[in-house]
Amino acid sequence: MRKNSLLGLCGTLALCLLASLPASATPPPDVDASVPLCNGAYTGRFVFDFGYTTSTATVVVNTTIVPANGFSPPPPPVPYYTLFSQAGHRNSPNDPRTFETVQRRGENQYPSVPAEVVKFVGRSPTCELSARAVIDVVCPNGTIDNRHKEQTWIGCGL
């Protein structure tokens, strides 16, 4: 009889401990993606770094273009490019989004710095952080290459 009481007590204790644990947080949906541009002459890079502390959530959106590896001779500088990085937030699905945006343009060069934007917000179960990036390139042959990437984090880790 004592053995059954002990097992029941242990089972109850285990359930109480499990119930006291916080719900499993949604992991940050980080992105680190490279895409070919202009038939592989250049590489577009999208980096979305989501993170959080006990009270805040963040997203860093970083967009750039680099020469593709393996070309000999290397491709000429990018004739024309536009980089667009945007970080958005809303407190709940019914609220409008607020945005931070950075855009960079250049001609006959590679970007000297990435288009980078950062958004800090307070954490809540209904928080939504979003990242969006666009790369537009005019290729050496005159064609246009356009790439984009988006990611949303619902719950901001809660």
The CA–CA distances, whole Å, from 23 to 10, 26, 138 equal 22, 9, 48
Residue boundaries of the structural domains of the chain = 24-154
What percentage of residues in the chain have a pLDDT greater than 70? 83
Q: Which CATH number fits domain 24-154: 1.10.10, 2.60.40, 1.10.760, 2.60.120?
A: 2.60.40
In eight-state DSSP terms, residue 149 is E
Residue 21 has pLDDT above 60, yes or no: no
**Residue 75, both tokens:** 């491709």
**Tokens at 46, concatenated:** 């999208």
What confidence tier does 75 reach under pLDDT thresholds 50, 70, 90? confident
34 phi/psi in degrees, rounded to 5: -115, 135
pTM, two decimals, is 0.82
